[in-house]
Structure formats: structure tokens, C-alpha cells
């Protein structure tokens, strides 16, 4: 069973009510998201609010976090209200399909989306919702991004390797092009497990980078990973 909370250096994430627990994927996206020149952010499927709060710590942007699940929405509100940046994070109880923002379009859209479409589902509906994209199919996600992304804005998300490559092809059909790919491996000898992808309306050859989390033994972290997350994890 997951702990009821996860403590970071400057904030704590309570997660007892939410299906979306704190995990490495969310921390990686929150730490890696490109915030250069960003004044407005949309976090799609905010869960506990982890990514929104991380981005608020990293930059001065106004952040809108949307979450359709009632329990996760309530938990997100609690975590945001307890944080030092609650004046810049607005939490909205809605799905992307019904979202109607006050401010129009965003410089940066981030999401740690459910990504399984056909695999065997968990009998626990909470866990199933956290892992499967029934409520937000790829096409509807991309349509929403195009609707709410500024012309020069960026979409960034984290996905498993196979699903991420499929998403790149799907996004191309909608006129969103992959500009950068961060390929993430747990260990030097591991296969690539995760991709952090950056999309925009500008078509160009994507820049590829690599990140390895651990040297070879558990909890022996690489210098690059420590530098990336040291502002957040207590252990660094």
C-alpha cells in the first residue's frame, strides 16, 4: 500500500484519496518540462497536483490544473492550497473535452496521460482509470491540445517507449510535430522505458537526449538524475 503522503523539500503531496499516486514519471515530467518563456500552463489530468506544484516551484507562470475524477480533484485542491504557490495554481473539476478556460490559450500544456488502450484492465476501477485511456483517447487529447495551445506553444508529456512512438505518429496527423525526445533508462543496461516528448506546430528534426536514472545498483543514482531532481527530493 502506498504511503498517504510523499514529502518533498518544499511541499508535501497527500495521495490517500487519489488513484494517481506519486511516481517517477510525474516527477520526471515536472522536473524536465521546458519552462523557458512560459507564462501560462495547462496541466491535463492533474491527479494529486504534483506536476502543477513542481512547475509552480520552478517558474512564475499561472497554472491551470484540470482533473475529472472527484476524489483526485479534491486531493489536488488540498495539496495546492497547502503549497506556497496556491495563488498561481487554479484547479478545475472537469475533463479536457468539457474544459472552458477563462484565459484562452496556453504557452505550455503538460500531461502524464493514461496510455493503455487494449491491455487487460484492473478490477479496481480507480487503478483502471489511472492506466487506461478510455476517458481521454489519443484523438480527443490531441484535439484538445490544438484547441488550447498557443500558436507558438509546446505540449510535453511522458509515455512508455512503444506508446510514445505511436503517439508521435498520431500527433503528426493532427499537425503537432515532435521537436525533442528524452529517452529514459532505469539502468545503463536497461532498455529505454520512458520518453519525455515535446511537440509544437513547428515541423523540424527532433533533438534526442538520454537520461539514465541509476548507475547499476538500486538507489545509486546518476549525477544527471540527482542534478535534475535535487530541488525536490529530500534524499538529494
Alpha-carbon distance of 202 to 72, in angstroms, equals 34
Q: Is residue 235 assigned to a domain?
A: no
pLDDT of 39 over the 70 cut? yes
| Range 140-163 average pLDDT | 97
The stretch 80-86 carries a mean pLDDT of 98
Q: Is the pLDDT of residue 105 over 80?
A: yes
Instruction: Answer yes or no: is 104 within a domain.
Output: yes
Please indicate, yes or no, if residue 181 is contained in any of the structural domains. Answer: yes
Q: Which domain holds residue 157?
A: 5-229
Separation in Å, CA 13 to CA 5, 18, 79, 82: 5, 11, 6, 9
Residue 35 has pLDDT above 80, yes or no: yes
Q: Is residue 236 part of a domain?
A: no
Largest CA distance in the chain: 48
Task: Please report, to the nearest 10 degrees, the dihedral formed by the alpha carbons of residues 62, 80, 193, 155 taken in order.
Answer: -20
Which DSSP string corresponds to 189-216?
A: TSPP-EEEEEEESS--PPEEEEEE-BSS
Domain CATH number, residue 159: 3.40.50.150
Could you tell me which residues come within 8 angstroms of residue 118 by beta carbon, excluding any fewer than 6 positions away?
none
Cα–Cα distance for residue pair 144/110, rounded to 1 Å: 12
Q: According to the model, what pLDDT value does residue 219 have?
A: 84
The pLDDT of residue 2 is: 58
Mean per-residue pLDDT, 214-220: 86
Residue 95, domain member (yes or no): yes
Question: Is 201 contained in some domain?
Answer: yes
* Predicted TM-score (pTM) of this structure: 0.91
* Percent of the chain residues past pLDDT 70, beyond the cut: 91
The yes-or-no verdict on residue 123 having pLDDT over 50 is: no
Grid coordinates of 201: 506546430
In a domain, 73, yes or no: yes
Structurally, how many domains does the chain consist of? 1
Amino acid at each position: 500500500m502506498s504511503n498517504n503522503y510523499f514529502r518533498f523539500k518544499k511541499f508535501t503531496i497527500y495521495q490517500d484519496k487519489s488513484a494517481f499516486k506519486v511516481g517517477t514519471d510525474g516527477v520526471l515530467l515536472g522536473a524536465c518540462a521546458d519552462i523557458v518563456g512560459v507564462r501560462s500552463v495547462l496541466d491535463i489530468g492533474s491527479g494529486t497536483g504534483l506536476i502543477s506544484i513542481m512547475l509552480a516551484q520552478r517558474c512564475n507562470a499561472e497554472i491551470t490544473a484540470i482533473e475529472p475524477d472527484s476524489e483526485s480533484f479534491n486531493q489536488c485542491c488540498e495539496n495546492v492550497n497547502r503549497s506556497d504557490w496556491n495563488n498561481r495554481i487554479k484547479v478545475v473539476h472537469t475533463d479536457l473535452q468539457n474544459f472552458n478556460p477563462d484565459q484562452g490559450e496556453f504557452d505550455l500544456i503538460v500531461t502524464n496521460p493514461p496510455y493503455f488502450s487494449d491491455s487487460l484492465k484492473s478490477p479496481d476501477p480507480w487503478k483502471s482509470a489511472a492506466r487506461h485511456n478510455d476517458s481521454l483517447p489519443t484523438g480527443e487529447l490531441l484535439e484538445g491540445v490544438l484547441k488550447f495551445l498557443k500558436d507558438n506553444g509546446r505540449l510535453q508529456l511522458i509515455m512508455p517507449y512503444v506508446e510514445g512512438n505511436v503517439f508521435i505518429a498520431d500527433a503528426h496527423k493532427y499537425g503537432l510535430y515532435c521537436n525533442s525526445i528524452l529517452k529514459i533508462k532505469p539502468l545503463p543496461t536497461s532498455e529505454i522505458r520512458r520518453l519525455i516528448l515535446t511537440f509544437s506546430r513547428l515541423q523540424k528534426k527532433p533533438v534526442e537526449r538520454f537520461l539514465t536514472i541509476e548507475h547499476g545498483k538500486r538507489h545509486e543514482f546518476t549525477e544527471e538524475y540527482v542534478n535534475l531532481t535535487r530541488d525536490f527530493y529530500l534524499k538529494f
